[in-house]
């Protein structure tokens, strides 16, 4: 059975194949919160051909930045971005996990130099992938982050 859970959009961005339950985090990354004016629809825990269950986010009139894409890739490494113009898919691409990110994650290690308020140090992490697990390694202290969404700035 093929059920259309949320309607198609005219112009904007569809972020598809988000891991189940992560749609709210994607909305947060896109800066969509209480009081936002964008027309947004989302579906959580819907059927998917490629995954058991997935989330989808659709934002009308939204242009997604490189930095937002990087953040999204860390929590939704298999997400597909669909750029919609006049109801047609203009562009479809997978997010790409960057090799390193600067200033996007906070190091969990309180003694790390990147957490020392006195030093003007921007956090820097190497992103690694093993199987379908994505984790980040602090380039200053070596601390590994497995629950990436908890440390996204
Ligand atoms: N979509 C939309 N508005 C449009 C066109 C597409 O909201 N005007 C959405 C679809 O609902 C779907 C996503 O964009 O969630 C991708 O559309 P499509 O490529 O047609 O679907 P699939 O073939 O299932 O995509 P994929 O191969 O990436 O799984
Ligand atoms: Zn660190």
Query: Per-residue confidence at 119, pLDDT binned at 50, 70, 90?
Result: confident
Q: What is the pTM of this model?
A: 0.90
Position 132 scores a pLDDT of 75
DSSP state of 147: -
Give φ, ψ of 28 to 5 degrees: -60, -45
pLDDT higher than threshold 60 for residue 116: yes
Residue 33 confidence class, pLDDT cut points 50, 70, 90: very high
Is the CB of residue 82 below 6 angstroms from any atom belonging to ligand 1?
yes
Looking from the CA of residue 4, the nearest atom of ligand 1 is 11
Q: What does the alpha-carbon distance between residue 104 and residue 9 come to, in Å, rounded to a whole number?
A: 30
C-alpha to C-alpha distance for 107 and 7, rounded to whole angstroms: 40
pLDDT digits (tens, 9 = 90+) for 75-94: 999 999 999 999 999 999 99
Residue pLDDT, tens place only, 128-137: 998 878 999 9
**Model confidence at 2: pLDDT above 70:** no
The per-residue pLDDT of the chain, averaged, comes to 93
Q: Is the C-beta atom of 54 inside 6 A of ligand 1? A: no
Whether the per-residue pLDDT at 19 is higher than 90: the answer is yes
Distance of CA 92 to the CA centre of its chain: 16
* 14 Cα nearest atom in ligand 1: 14
- Residue 31 pLDDT more than 80? yes
CA 142 / ligand 2 centre spacing (Å) = 6
Whether 89 is in the pocket of ligand 1, judged by its Cβ within 6 Å, is yes
pLDDT at 80: 97
Sheet holding 40-47, edge to edge: 40-47, 53-60, 12-19, 80-85, 88-94
Report whether pLDDT(58) > 80: yes
Strands 53-60 and 40-47: antiparallel
Say which ligand is closest to the CA of 17.
Answer: 1
From the CB of 42, is ligand 1 less than 6 Å away? Answer: no
pLDDT at 29: 95
Considering Cα of 26, then 31, then 108, then 141, what sign does the dihedral take? positive
Q: Is 8 in the pocket of ligand 1 (CB under 6 A)?
A: yes
Residue 1 has pLDDT above 70, yes or no: no
CB 112 within 8 A of CB 35: no
């Amino acid at each position: 059975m093929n059920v259309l859970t949320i309607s198609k959009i005219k112009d904007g961005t569809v972020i598809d194949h988000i891991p189940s339950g992560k749609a709210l985090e994607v909305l947060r990354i896109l800066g969509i919160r209480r009081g936002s004016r964008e027309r947004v629809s989302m579906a959580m825990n819907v059927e998917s051909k490629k995954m058991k269950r997935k989330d989808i986010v659709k934002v009308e009139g939204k242009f997604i930045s490189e930095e937002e894409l990087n953040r999204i890739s860390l929590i939704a490494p298999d997400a597909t971005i669909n750029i919609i113009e006049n109801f047609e898919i203009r562009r479809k691409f997978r997010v790409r996990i960057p090799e390193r990110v600067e200033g996007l994650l906070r190091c969990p290690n309180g003694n790390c130099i990147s957490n020392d308020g006195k030093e003007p140090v921007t956090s820097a992490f190497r992103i690694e992938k093993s199987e379908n697990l994505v984790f980040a390694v602090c380039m200053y202290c070596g601390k590994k982050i497995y629950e990436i969404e908890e440390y996204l700035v």
